[in-house]
A and B are shown apart, each in its own frame.
Chain A
């Protein structure tokens, strides 16, 4: 079964995204903080097939996680989600995510079918 880790600090959105992908048959793991995300990605035998990463986690940049993935797990596809943040244009976040090789950037708000299409595309199916 394909395992997807969703990293999102908004609890309601995290549950919604999780439900959408579970209904599509994915094994979904979740993380709500940078620390939880790092543990799930880098510690133990995570066996993740895809990461869906919110770029802003409680004021911290998920781009740091993306940077670490590029170095330590370059084969793990990543879908970045962002709705912008205070103090930095979303345009810059999108460009940085592109530089780090994100499979796609989903700009919030997006619809369920857009998430599913992005997941399928990132997994190459």
Chain B
């Protein structure tokens, strides 16, 4: 490993550790990261956008994984379906009271709160870097 590559590997390793530490809760009863993303979507989605297809676009996945995430959240009582007023083939989903309560413990808040301790200029720089990183990874496509 070259000196330059070693530095980048170290940064990548720390970044991965930080990201992984966000989701401390483990086990069968834990809400999985993709389920947290789905809950965030249904919390932010406009009233007509809370559909399985909307979630699929949000997550960048096909309808199958999105449907499974929705089914698991409904089963856990975190979201609830209601008929779509303009499309009888579709259902709209929204957070239940339990889901709203769960969102108060969204693990991403822990990271967001930690970022509040970071100097404003450093935060701007970090934001720009992480956006660039996301763009580079997006351009490169999936892993090997």
Chain A contact residues, CB within 8 Å of chain B: 83-84, 87-92, 94, 96, 99-100, 105-111, 114
B131 and A99: CB pair below 8 A? yes
Chain B contact residues, CB within 8 Å of chain A: 37, 40-41, 44-49, 54, 57-61, 127, 130-131, 134, 138
27 A-B pairs with CB atoms under 8 Å apart are: A84-B54, A84-B57, A87-B138, A88-B60, A89-B57, A89-B58, A89-B60, A91-B40, A91-B41, A92-B134, A94-B58, A96-B134, A99-B130, A99-B131, A105-B44, A106-B46, A107-B41, A107-B44, A107-B49, A107-B54, A109-B46, A110-B46, A110-B47, A110-B49, A111-B46, A111-B47, A111-B48
Kindly provide the distance from the CB of A71 to the nearest chain B CB, expressed in whole angstroms.
10
Report how far A14 CA is from B46 CA in the complex, Å: 18
Q: Which of B37, B48, B58 contacts A109 (CB 8 A)?
A: B48
Chain B residue numbers with a CB within 8 Å of A100 are 127
Kindly provide the distance from the CB of B73 to the nearest chain A CB, expressed in whole angstroms.
16
Given contact pairs A91-B41, A107-B54, A99 touches B47 in the complex (Cβ within 8 A):
no
Chain A residue numbers with a CB within 8 Å of B44 are 94, 105, 107
Chain A residue numbers with a CB within 8 Å of B37 are 91
Chain A residue numbers with a CB within 8 Å of B60 are 88-92
Report how far A6 CA is from B37 CA in the complex, Å: 29
B58 and A90: CB pair below 8 A? yes
Report how far A94 CA is from B131 CA in the complex, Å: 12
Kindly provide the distance from the CB of A99 to the nearest chain B CB, expressed in whole angstroms.
4
Kindly provide the distance from the CB of A83 to the nearest chain B CB, expressed in whole angstroms.
7
Given contact pairs A90-B57, A91-B59, A107-B54, A99 touches B127 in the complex (Cβ within 8 A):
yes
